[in-house]
Amino acid sequence: MPIPKLIKENGVYNLYVDGKPYIALAGELHNSSASNLDYMNKKVWPYLRDLHLNTVILPVYWELIEPEQGKFEFDLLNGVIEQARTENVRLVLLWFGLWKNGISSYVPGWVKKDYSTYFRAVHFNGVASDTISPLCDKAVEADANAFTQFMTHLKKVDGDRNTVIMIQVENEIGFLGSDRDYSDFANAEFNRPLPAVVESLYGVSGTWKEGFADDAAEYFMAYHYAQAIERIASAGAKVYPLPLFVNAWLEQFPWRPGTYPSGGPIAKVMRLWKAIAPTICLYAPDIYLPNFAEICEEYTANDNPLFIPEVRRDISSATNVFYALGKHDALCFSPFGIEDFMAPSENGDNIDPTIMMALNIENSGFVLNGTGPYLARSYELLGNMLGVIQKYRGTGKMTGFLQGHEAGCILSFSKYDIRITYNRLPDGKPVSGGLVIEVSEDEFVFVGIGFSIEFLPKRSNPMQTGYVKIEEGMFVQDQWVAGRVLNGDEGAYKIKIGRSPAAIRVELYQYK
């Protein structure tokens, strides 16, 4: 089988798996779930089977792969891959190496204990952090070596199967608690002249402070994190060039680096990251903030394909997935802590709010409120029409829409304008939204939740619009299977999709 690849074709990015375009309807596991195979068999896989996932995102841990320096253990990795094959899902693996959520919590014990060799980043007040500095050459070298061994083994056991389709290098990189590293070594580097590549990229000169003023600390950290990631990623890619990406803990209130991980690949420093880390194929937002549509717009700018490895756990995700795929040609949508969604008790409801406050994360994004069954239905509908979605990606004949503060929106197609009215659903129900495909000038398919549809002729067209047929239904293996025909009262006055994920096909004609 050919190795998975990310390729830009006709203005849109496609992820090829087994030589065919692939869209990941995914879920990411909790951080520790994949550290034990028995736990996976008992507490994870049974609760994923009814969600209609095609992809699972889970960590691999440097501390478990290299528990002693130079001695590598891959039984856990081998077991997880075998389990995924049994479950008939693909994997995206997260390399929990030097940094996870801005902290060095998954490095091996021999790295943690030798804090002289693998020195820590220092806060503004001079106190050492629990984050190994990205300027620590020995630490980056050790991570790059472990990552290379991991990729070498992965190629050996999976290179002909493509169970693993992508790798995320580290997780939510950056420095928490301070705008930059204030270690002696970092201070010296901060006061040196800017690297030539940075001067050329931004048209600035002098030191970091002289070139970037108040943003100097964050850009300094972004440069050094990107440099470290490129060293790690390129080492692994040389032996097994799977698509490699990084994810971002997003910039947010109070908009000060250090309250979110300073130097991470947020949108405003993506240009710098791209220049310094060319091995990285895309920059992925972890979206827990409520302004989902705005973040999708931000992360599809600058020729970046939309890949969402972590997204809110609440019920809004059952709608947001339609918007991401329809509007932004997303390659992946993946709520976090996915093993909870169909479990007997929704563990996510009991997340400690003090943890959320410490991480500056809105608690509502982590609370399950009936999400599982809604998301399962959304994934079932989409999973059966991925070939159809793939056909229309990048053509201008497919788009998405999502309830915001407006009452609705107007979508313009070749022969008709479509007025979408968002139906305000009760608390505890998903927000309104979906996607629409113009199959032909007079035929449309809608998939989503909670909206009404009205077709309007173009303003310059004197013709009236009528319906040949309005059908409920769904795709099954990319073929439309009709349900009820709604040409009577149900469709004569208003075409609508109700509170649960559903699909409608509409065929129109014009008359006078």
Q: What CATH number should be reported for the domain holding residue 144?
A: 3.20.20.80
Residue where a domain stops, chosen among 368, 392, 416: 392
363 vs 242 pLDDT, higher one: 242
Among 153-157, 337-341, 437-441, 486-490, the minimum mean pLDDT is found in 486-490
Q: Do 357 and 380 fall into the same domain? A: yes
Specify the pLDDT at position 494.
77
**pLDDT bucket at 348, cuts 50 / 70 / 90:** very low
What residues are paired with 422 via a beta bridge?
Answer: 451
Q: Do 178 and 315 fall into the same domain? A: yes
Question: In this structure, is the dihedral angle defined by the CA atoms of residues 375, 345, 35 and 109, taken in order, positive or negative?
Answer: positive
Q: Residue range 143-154: average pLDDT?
A: 98
What residues are paired with 332 via a beta bridge?
Answer: 24, 307
CB-based burial, 225-234: b 16+ in 10 Å, e otherwise: bbbbbbbbbb
Grouping H, G, I as helix, E, B as strand and the rest as coil, residue 259 is coil
Q: Do 253 and 357 fall into the same domain? A: yes
Q: Do 13 and 122 fall into the same domain? A: yes
Q: Do 388 and 411 fall into the same domain? A: no
Specify the pLDDT at position 487.
83
State the Cα angle at 20 between 236 and 336, rounded to 5°.
60
Query: Contact 121/183 with Cβ under 8 angstroms?
Result: yes
Q: What's the token pair of residue 102?
A: 């801005």
Q: Do 180 and 283 fall into the same domain? A: yes
**Radius of gyration of the chain from Cα atoms?**
24
- Determine the Cα–Cα distance for residues 36 and 399; give it in Å rounded to an integer: 41
pLDDT for residue 346 is more than 60: no
- Tens digit of pLDDT for each residue in 49-82? 999 999 999 999 999 999 999 999 999 999 999 9
Q: What is the DSSP string of 84-121?
A: HHHHT-EEEEEEEEEEETTB--SS-HHHHH-TTTSPEE
Specify the pLDDT at position 299.
97
pLDDT for residue 349 is more than 60: no
How large a percentage of the chain has pLDDT more than 70? 96
pLDDT for residue 190 is more than 70: yes
- Tens digit of pLDDT for each residue in 12-38? 999 999 999 999 999 999 999 999 999
Q: Do 184 and 269 fall into the same domain? A: yes
Q: Residue range 433-446: average pLDDT?
A: 98
Distances in whole angstroms, Cα of residue 27 to Cα of each of 319, 402, 472: 15, 21, 28
Q: Residue range 165-169: average pLDDT?
A: 98
Query: Count of residues for the chain?
Result: 512
Strands (E), 342-407: 398-402
Distances in whole angstroms, Cα of residue 81 to Cα of each of 4, 89, 185, 318, 342: 16, 10, 41, 28, 22
Q: Do 148 and 220 fall into the same domain? A: yes
| Mean per-residue pLDDT over the chain, rounded | 94
Number of Cα atoms under 13 Å in the Cβ half of residue 457: 14
- Tens digit of pLDDT for each residue in 447-490? 999 999 999 988 888 888 899 999 999 999 999 999 999 887 66
Peptide bond into 254 cis (omega under 30): yes
Among 162-166, 177-181, 250-254, the minimum mean pLDDT is found in 250-254
Specify the pLDDT at position 210.
97
Tally of structural domains, the chain? 2
Residue whose pair of structure tokens reads 């490129």 in the numeric block: 230
Phi, psi angles (nearest 5°) of residue 363: -60, -35
Query: Contact 56/84 with Cβ under 8 angstroms?
Result: yes
**pLDDT bucket at 424, cuts 50 / 70 / 90:** confident
225: part of which helix (H) or strand (E)? helix 216-239
- Determine the Cα–Cα distance for residues 116 and 340; give it in Å rounded to an integer: 40
Looking at residue 459, which CATH number applies to its domain? Answer: 2.60.220.20
- Tens digit of pLDDT for each residue in 310-319? 999 999 999 9
Q: Residue range 265-283: average pLDDT?
A: 97
Q: Residue range 198-215: average pLDDT?
A: 97
Look at strands 20-22 and 307-311 and give their pairing.
unpaired
Specify the pLDDT at position 458.
87
Residue where a domain stops, chosen among 338, 360, 392: 392
Q: Do 205 and 298 fall into the same domain? A: yes
Residue where a domain stops, chosen among 362, 392, 422: 392
Query: Contact 482/472 with Cβ under 8 angstroms?
Result: yes
What residue numbers bound the domain in which 335 lies?
5-392
How large a percentage of the chain has pLDDT more than 90? 88
Q: Do 363 and 459 fall into the same domain? A: no
Look at residues 188, 276, 178 and name the one whose alpha carbon lies nearest to residue 231.
Answer: 276
Specify the pLDDT at position 490.
66
pLDDT for residue 351 is more than 80: no
- Which amino acid is located at 344 in the chain? P
- Tens digit of pLDDT for each residue in 373-417? 999 999 999 999 999 999 999 999 999 999 998 999 999 999 999
pLDDT for residue 103 is more than 50: yes
- Tens digit of pLDDT for each residue in 237-257? 999 999 999 999 999 888 899
Distances in whole angstroms, Cα of residue 106 to Cα of each of 143, 338, 447: 11, 21, 41
Q: Do 380 and 470 fall into the same domain? A: no
Q: What's the token pair of residue 179?
A: 């705008």
Specify the pLDDT at position 356.
62
Specify the pLDDT at position 365.
80
Q: Do 270 and 155 fall into the same domain? A: yes
Look at residues 295, 474, 493 and name the one whose alpha carbon lies nearest to residue 402.
Answer: 295
